[in-house]
Structure 1
């Protein structure tokens, strides 16, 4: 997908987490976890609900500070306030901000302007981005008029459209049927081939097989992984 504005640096960053954890009072949201993601590779994170996948992604993105350990994106500490990293890192961690009085096309146009896109080619790039996710015919709709699956595709469009070479995505397959999940897998493979580093939390074995170079299982044994695969197959 063509990104808005100036391109992110060629080749995604290397991401290293060393013993990161998150504890609130007596509650452990994430047990100490270490990982390494090489540039232009994809790590898929799996685990049962509540094990800390989303917390780990937020720490990797620099959105929250770990209780222990550290994360480095190339040679920089993960910190969303770092302007250099903000240009490199795009995240889908919950629903991004949306405005009732802006259409889907308006939202992407706003992103394009924010990141310094060329005005002359903006409309073409916006519609190409929506078309690529199969929602080009919804360009003039408002976010609150979308179905659950259409809304997820719109959130993905918002995330993928802005400049980045590190994508951190929390269950991008949510609310999507098999055909759309396959489409997302194809788009993410294309981004990786273009040099983007990917870190994705997913419950979907099919998506995992399509995109993962490495898999990190949080707190699961083999029997629990088999149960998760069976549950996903029944969706």
Structure 2
């Protein structure tokens, strides 16, 4: 049974899609069966996986509208994992399903058809609280929050945790934040260190030890349609995301062991 994880933050520009793509790639390198679901109409996770969003035969839009089974819409990327891609067609889906019974659970029901084929399903959420994002959060068990260590990020974090609490109470009682990831991290910056300390006090063990540094090669990789580990495997960004995947696997193993 797959572990289903959303990468979410209502604030844009925090490395959300970068994290979704590179975590998926790193887990695949570690021999895990991975599906990346792009739930953002910008389609950046699709493009960052080397798939042209405008050339998709089927996309997540077709799945949400019930036009094809999810398995039909999944594309095999050349970077070690599979992708349920997205493009601008997704922007019109919310209106189409707004009056539909069970509209919040369309993605959840679709994933149930294929989750036994994967070890990890990573869902890249849009930076907004739309019905599409609610679908994503109703479908997963876990949330990873990527965030920059800056003042305004803390305000956005409070909004996001409230959103997750509301969805947990109303739609998905199993939903939980499993990790907070510091991205674009610059240890030379005093504010970065101060915000990082606040995060550590607030989230404790849920704050990943791994930090994602500011890295030129990491920023360049999406333009080449490649996760960083395929673009420049020796870069600091590639090493950081491999470390994140390893840390996540270790925490998952410990958690499973504690329940045994």
Larger RCO (CA under 8 A, 6+ residues apart): 1
- The structure in which a higher percent of residues are strand is 1
**TM-score, normalization: structure 1?**
0.39
- The structure in which a higher percent of residues are helix is 2
